[in-house]
Amino acid sequence: MKIDFVILADGAHVAGDKLYVLGGGWTILWAAEFPTKHTAAIAVGAMVDWQETNHRHRIEIALLSEGKQLGEPLVGGEFEVGRPPGLPIGAAQRFMLAAPVSISLEEPGLYELVVRVDGADITSSPFQAVPVDQGQQRPKE
């Protein structure tokens, strides 16, 4: 299984085999104070190989700081991708997940979201938490 993308967004959902994203692709979380809590969404896309279809898989998305997991996984569950009629033998299929999350951070710094499938770390997506002084405006994006 190959993870194609992990997107941090303001909002996201999957409908009709399409991913809808609002304010996606950010890598900096600006906060007026720490500790902070931020509501966001995580979108993940994976290509499931032919031999991995018709089997249940466990997925988790955890928040890490300095390589250590912070609390329980933000997202966890199971999925199974079936083989629709007419699919050519050997064809991979896309699995997509979008989930709202609440990210709690004690201090500024570098963080990462790690995606685990069946207990193995498959990929990660780094982001930074940056303080904004009260008198300073957030930089234009």
Q: Is the pLDDT reported for residue 134 higher than 60?
A: no
Place of tokens 């982001």: 127
How far apart CA 75 and CA 6 sit, in angstroms, is 13
Res 133: pLDDT: 75
Confidence of residue 80 (pLDDT cuts 50, 70, 90): very high
What's at 126, amino acid-wise?
Answer: P
CATH of 2-131, one of 3.30.930.10, 2.60.40.150, 2.60.40.10, 3.40.47.10: 2.60.40.10
Beta bridge partners of 16: none
pTM for the full predicted model = 0.88
